[in-house]
Copies of this chain bind each other. A is one copy, B any other.
């Protein structure tokens, strides 16, 4: 499955996203993703060392600053 398709398949489920300028991991439900991998997450929390750090709610992430996207296993 192509990278973009893989991301589209994750819409509706929980993902963790590592961003370039951000030391922490963002975890939220993937609401939508476009071709540039810009992401819209809802119920987003910032996580550091396995701890919830901050609740961010609805967040838009700029695709080119995404390092990696990992699905969260249930």
Contacts and interface: CB of A to CB of B under 8 A. Distances in A.
A64 B67 contact: no
Contacts of A20: 20-21, 65, 67
Interface residues of A, number: 37
Say what secondary structure dominates the interface of chain A. Answer: strand
A34 B4 contact: yes
Contacts of A33: 3
B6 A40 contact: yes
16 contacts: A2-B32, A3-B40, A4-B34, A18-B22, A19-B67, A20-B20, A26-B68, A56-B68, A57-B71, A58-B70, A60-B70, A61-B67, A62-B67, A62-B69, A65-B65, A65-B67
